[in-house]
A and B are shown apart, each in its own frame.
Chain A
Amino acid sequence: MDFEKDIAEHYDKQEPSEGFWKRIRRERFRRRNRRILSACVAVAAVIAVSLGATWWYGIQKLEHEVFAQVADRHLTPVDSRYAAASIEELADRLERCRFSLKSQEPCMDEYVTVAGGYCSIKQKLAVQIKMKREACGSVDTLYVTDLNEELSRLRDRSEAILGDVNLRMWKEQDRLYVLASSQALGPY
């Protein structure tokens, strides 16, 4: 009695309906598409996070470089100095300077201009202005330059303390200002 072969043949003949295959195909397509979509979203998220982190790191690095350069300059004497009693007077003397030196920042009202000269920030022509803070008598330095593509990436406002130097940076229209002081800076 060879029912073993009959059993195999019996099951071999059994086929699911076309409706079954349609449902299975639909389910498989849905699952595979979902997996591909998930993978794409994951890859996009990783790329976005990487780009974001790179961008953020780049800004942080640039900011630190500007602050470090300014802090270093603040502690060394100004080479080419032009004495001036006001920002406007100094601006007249600095002929190479094509940008406005005047800042609308409220904290600038506390200062009296002493002298100024040329310098550079990130290989870009800048002006450094020695200013005396009337309230405490401290002589601080204000750095001004116009924004190029690189400096435009900096945040609108930031502060830092490097060594003994207190630093404050802000953007105003197309200009970048960095104020350096050996004493604590007042509020914005």
Chain B
Amino acid sequence: MAFGWFEKGDFCGEFEEKVQSGYRYALSLCGKAHDAEDLTQEAVVKVLRRYGDIEKKGLLYRTIRNLYFDEWRRSKIVQMDSVEAVELERIPEDGRGTLGREADIEYALSILNANERELLYLRYRDGFSATEIGKLINKERGTVLSALYRAEKKMKQLFASDLQKVDRK
């Protein structure tokens, strides 16, 4: 590199943590690792170009979100569902229960839509309150709470059906 003081060691720390969180958040939206990497990289470049550094994690999240919903859906086929109108989907009965807890979670998350995964990620991985989530996604706290309730219900339903299947065995 051109300047000695930007060696690899300098890179570690807060910046890396924020990017990592950004990647996980992007993953909750895309559902696919490769897409999440592309989306995060694009967002990081955008933030660095504009602000020089990632000051706050929220800024990166917002950029990722805007990119995903505004730009990605133009160029890619992204299933969009409003947080206000999440409908329970039919839960497939095959491919679950026998792969272990982690695989079940992954499978269950793959069945949820991007909005639901995003809400669950922000609530349970990052520990955001409904108000904080509302600020990020530009929704009222009440709307966020109901959407969260529906997403949780869907997850519970997935696992309940899973347990029934295990019980029958």
Given contacts A23-B41, A28-B15, contact A7 B23 (CB under 8 A): no
Given contacts A7-B120, A10-B109, contact A31 B49 (CB under 8 A): yes
Separation of A3 and B156 alpha carbons in the complex (Å): 8
A33 is an interface residue with CB less than 8 A from chain B: yes
Residue pair A11, B28 in contact (C-beta under 8 Å): yes
Q: Which of B103-154 contact A (CB under 8 A)?
A: 105-106, 108-109, 120-121, 123-125
Checking A10, A20, A32, A35 against B41 with a beta-carbon cut-off of 8 angstroms, the contacting residue is A20
B82 is an interface residue with CB less than 8 A from chain A: no
Checking B11, B49, B53, B121 against A11 with a beta-carbon cut-off of 8 angstroms, the contacting residue is B121
Residue pair B156, A27 in contact (C-beta under 8 Å): no
Interface digits, A10-46 against B, CB 8 Å rule (1 contact, 0 not)?
Answer: 1111111100110111011101110110000000000
B159 is an interface residue with CB less than 8 A from chain A: yes
Most B CB contacts (10 A, CB to CB) among A7, A9, A13, A21 go to A7
- Contacts A/B (CB < 8 Å), 25 sampled: A4-B124, A5-B124, A7-B105, A7-B120, A7-B121, A9-B102, A10-B102, A10-B106, A11-B28, A11-B121, A14-B27, A16-B33, A20-B23, A20-B40, A20-B41, A23-B41, A24-B41, A24-B44, A28-B11, A29-B1, A31-B48, A31-B52, A33-B3, A33-B6, A35-B52
Q: Which residues of B contact A11 (CB under 8 A)?
A: 24, 27-28, 121, 125
A8 is an interface residue with CB less than 8 A from chain B: yes
Question: Residues of B within 8 Å of A, CB-based: how many?
Answer: 40
A1 is an interface residue with CB less than 8 A from chain B: yes
Q: Which residues of B contact A5 (CB under 8 A)?
A: 124
B19 is an interface residue with CB less than 8 A from chain A: yes
B64 is an interface residue with CB less than 8 A from chain A: no
Interface digits, B35-47 against A, CB 8 Å rule (1 contact, 0 not)?
Answer: 0110011001100
B20 is an interface residue with CB less than 8 A from chain A: yes
Separation of A16 and B43 alpha carbons in the complex (Å): 15
Separation of A158 and B1 alpha carbons in the complex (Å): 51
Checking B33, B48, B101 against A14 with a beta-carbon cut-off of 8 angstroms, the contacting residue is B33
B2 is an interface residue with CB less than 8 A from chain A: yes
Separation of A27 and B155 alpha carbons in the complex (Å): 38
A92 is an interface residue with CB less than 8 A from chain B: no
A6 is an interface residue with CB less than 8 A from chain B: yes
B8 is an interface residue with CB less than 8 A from chain A: yes
Residue pair B120, A25 in contact (C-beta under 8 Å): no
Residue of B nearest to A7 (CB): B124
